[in-house]
Chains A and B, each alone.
Chain A
Amino acid sequence: MKRLNFTFILLGFLSIPLTAQAADLWGIDGEEKARVQATVVDLLCELTGQCADNCGDGKRQLGLLQDDGTLLLPIKNNDIFAGTTADLAPFCGKRIEADGLLIKKDKITMFALQFKRELPDGKWSRANWFTRDWAKRNGMDATRWFENDPTIKAELDRAGILGLPAVTYVPQ
């Protein structure tokens, strides 16, 4: 079942048409479609007062602070294996509308971001700016960015795919 869910989500990342502007369900327990209005905040700053210019210039996890004081953790964007900072950092300190999935688990409450726009009247855009930016930085197609990323290649070369440098994985 979990494998089926993952396949569904993977296909979704790769094939959802760009014209869609409403969240899709991803088949995750506890998910519900949600569209929220919130201010983009630097989570470390919001919680501790340790702030940085421009919410950390894309190097800090960002949050969605709703008007009632609820703080959401945006954890995943619409790109495969990617978070939301590239999509949210340009809106640091600004109010946006975020469309996606609110996922409530016993362990954690989190938000999967699928579309966003600046309020009051910004244009909707898909939450896929991680791969957009990655493609610009690396000068290649980002569809399978995780297999071509230089940082990932260096780390997996160093420690191996198991994280155990001395052990070679042999498929069963």
Chain B
Amino acid sequence: MKTLTFMAVLAVGGFLQPSAQAAGAERVTITGELIDTWCYTSEIMYALGTAHHKCAVWCAVGGIPVSIRTEDEQVYVILKVEEDDTSVANPRLVKIQTHEVTVNGDLYTRDGVNYLIVDQVADDHGIVHINHEDFGIQPF
């Protein structure tokens, strides 16, 4: 049931996916905002854009996974960026946290999680989600 639900969500997102027990990867190009996975998915606070950038840096340095959140609200947990196979407090991800990026890579879906192996950051649009005047600084 969990797998069916997950597949349905992905289908709405418009992406073709391998089976939940993925033995291989799906080639994808994804555009979205780099986010702090915990604050965004747990919904304990507003966790996008400039309003949440400081906290997103805190959490990235604290070792919480960094993900890409697409416009259709799918979340892709980053496990590797180009030749750098580190994903805990990765200095490159810290520096581009909250940026909107377009990446090419391999997508693995397993047990309710999209894992992304980025082999190319094709474009970095910088921070485009300017919302601190609406939300203040989250959480403080």
Contacts and interface: CB of A to CB of B under 8 A. Distances in A.
Tell whether A pairs with B: yes
Interface of A: 2-3, 5-6, 9-10, 28-29, 43-44, 47-48, 50, 52, 56, 58-61, 69-73, 75-76, 79, 81-86, 103-110, 130, 145-146, 149, 151-152, 155-156, 159, 161-164, 169, 171-172
Interface residues of B, number: 59
B89 interface: yes
B103 interface: no
B94 A151 contact: yes
Contacts, number: 168
The 4 closest A-B pairs by CB, nearest first: A109-B112, A83-B63, A82-B62, A163-B53
B23 to A, nearest CB: 10
A112 B64 CA distance: 11
Interface string B15-26: 000000110010
Contacts of A61: 65, 77, 79, 87-88
Contacts of B46: 2
B37 to A, nearest CB: 6
A83 B88 contact: yes
B85 interface: yes
Contacts of A3: 45, 139
